[in-house]
């Protein structure tokens, strides 16, 4: 089977987005009234998923997508822990409903109620709640401020309660920032890719995986700039007195294939071992356009994988096996389904 490790619910119904707009206005003091969510019925969710995510799955030849809330909509910069928790719960419960409606096509990954203030207690509590409800992973925002980078680096002990919970619950985390709050940082073209690269360097500088050897993290979008400047990072690891990258990071760190051209995918596979690469497309994500050079959508990433000419065992590991290994709760779910 083909598992897409990186999908988002980017097609929320208008009622869902309208509630969030009103909620943010209340949180920021622009509205005196705290909104009440009226809800969206199952028929509405079925209709939007069938027309969008499910249609593209079928057209592009994937079987299952790890689905999480819309990344740019997580909005961790919005003030107030209560608002963050309410929004994360609503977003996660909606994703869980979708996965229950389409159990053979989607598996849930949760948003965490992170805030700029940085209380990890509610974050761990929501992770525990979601895993108990069948979620197989989580998204971790290394920069809840939306571009100011006021949070300690990921190797700092400040993050340990979250890492310890993820290890205890046996779930990996995909590193994923939310929307940019800076006009100088385009959200998907700059903020996302820059954050991926920043996190790789944070991990290189620290000793996170030495302290937490059971932790598994996924850096999306092909690892940001890291694979394309691998010599720089190998050299920096030597200068900093760190072990080789293969030992220091790559026993615990994985990249996805959300790279939207063949040359980029070719480079990723020349630099990074295939066992560290998970198939992903960011389905209905950053780039919804057709490449005039190929006539195919930029984000139809399976085409790039197939063009590599990988041996069958390696190809199947990238398309399925690696994700099942990194997300053991997903593997258990699929096994229970007889897949």
Active site residues: 282
Question: Contact at 8 Å (CB) between 223 and 186?
Answer: no
| CB within 8 Å of 46: residues ≥ 6 apart | 101
Residue 134 Cα distances to 101, 120, 214, angstroms: 14, 21, 20
| CB within 8 Å of 316: residues ≥ 6 apart | none
CA-CA distance, 296 to 74, in Å (whole number)?
30
CA-CA distance, 181 to 72, in Å (whole number)?
11
Residue 163 Cα distances to 19, 154, 173, 174, 234, angstroms: 32, 10, 9, 12, 25
Question: Contact at 8 Å (CB) between 171 and 127?
Answer: yes
């Amino acid at each position: 089977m083909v598992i897409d490790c990186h999908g988002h619910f980017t097609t929320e119904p208008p009622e869902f987005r309208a509630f969030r707009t009103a909620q943010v206005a209340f949180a920021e003091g622009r509205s005196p009234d705290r909104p009440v969510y009226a809800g969206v019925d199952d028929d509405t969710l079925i209709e939007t998923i069938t027309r969008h995510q499910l249609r593209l799955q079928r057209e592009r030849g994937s079987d299952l997508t790890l689905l999480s809330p819309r990344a740019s909509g997580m909005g961790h910069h919005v003030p107030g822990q209560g608002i963050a928790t309410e929004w994360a719960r609503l977003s996660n419960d909606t994703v869980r409903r979708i996965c229950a409606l389409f159990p053979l096509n989607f598996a849930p990954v949760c948003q965490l109620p992170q805030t700029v203030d940085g209380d990890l207690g509610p974050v761990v509590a929501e992770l525990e709640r979601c895993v108990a409800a069948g979620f197989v992973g989580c998204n971790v925002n290394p920069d809840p401020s939306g571009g100011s980078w006021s949070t300690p680096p990921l190797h700092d002990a400040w993050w340990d309660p979250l890492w310890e919970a993820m290890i205890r619950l046996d779930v990996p985390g995909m590193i994923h920032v939310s929307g940019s709050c800076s006009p100088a940082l385009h959200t998907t073209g700059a903020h996302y890719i820059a954050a991926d690269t920043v996190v790789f360097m944070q991990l290189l500088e620290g000793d996170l995986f030495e302290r937490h050897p059971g932790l598994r993290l996924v850096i999306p979008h092909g690892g940001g700039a890291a694979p394309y400047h691998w010599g720089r990072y190998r050299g920096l690891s030597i200068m900093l007195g760190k072990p080789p990258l293969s030992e220091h990071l790559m026993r615990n760190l994985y990249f996805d294939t959300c790279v939207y051209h063949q040359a980029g995918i070719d480079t990723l596979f020349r630099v990074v071992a295939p066992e560290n690469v998970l198939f992903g497309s960011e389905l209905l994500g950053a780039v919804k356009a057709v490449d005039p050079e190929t006539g195919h959508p930029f984000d139809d990433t399976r085409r790039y994988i197939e063009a590599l000419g990988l041996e069958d065992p390696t190809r199947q590991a990238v398309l399925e096996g690696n994700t099942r290994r990194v997300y053991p709760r997903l593997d258990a779910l699929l096994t229970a389904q007889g897949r």
